[in-house]
Amino acid sequence: MNQRTIKKPVELVGIGLHKGEPIKLRLEPLGADAGIVFYREDLALSIPLSPSAVVDTQMATVIGAKTSLGELGTISTIEHFLSAVYAYGIDNMRVVVNGNEMPIMDGSAVSFCLLLDEAGVEEQEVPKKILRVKRAVEVRNGNKFVRLEPSNRATFDFEIDFEHPVIGRQSQAYSFGTKPFVEEIARARTFGFARDIQYLQSINLALGASLNNAIGLDDEKVLNPEGLRYNNEFARHKILDAMGDMMVTGHNILGAYASFAGSHKLNHELTVALLADRANYEMVSLSKSQSREFAKSFA
For residue 123, give the amino acid letter. Answer: E
The torsion defined by the Cα of 220, 223, 229 and 234, in degrees rounded to 10, comes to -50
Active site residue 164: no
C-alpha dihedral sign at 252, 258, 263, 268: negative
**Per annotation, catalytic residue among 80, 237, 264, 268:** 264
Concatenated DSSP letters of 112-130? HHHHHHHH-EEEEEEE-EE
Residue 107, CA distances (Å) to 21, 88, 110 in order: 15, 19, 9
Surface-to-core class of residue 12, CB atoms within 10 Å of its CB (0-12 exposed, 13-18 middle, 19+ buried): middle
Pairing of the two strands 72-75 and 62-66: antiparallel
Please tell me the distance from the alpha carbon of residue 203 to that of residue 200, in angstroms, as a whole number. Answer: 5
Please tell me the distance from the alpha carbon of residue 2 to that of residue 24, in angstroms, as a whole number. Answer: 30
Please tell me the distance from the alpha carbon of residue 39 to that of residue 26, in angstroms, as a whole number. Answer: 10
Surface-to-core class of residue 51, CB atoms within 10 Å of its CB (0-12 exposed, 13-18 middle, 19+ buried): buried
Q: Is 87 in a helix, a strand, or coil?
A: helix
Where do the H-state alpha helices sit in the chain?
79-88, 110-119, 178-180, 194-202, 233-246, 264-275, 292-296
For residue 227, give the amino acid letter. Answer: G
Going by the DSSP 8-state scheme, the letter that residue 97 receives in this structure is E
Which amino acids are annotated catalytic? 264
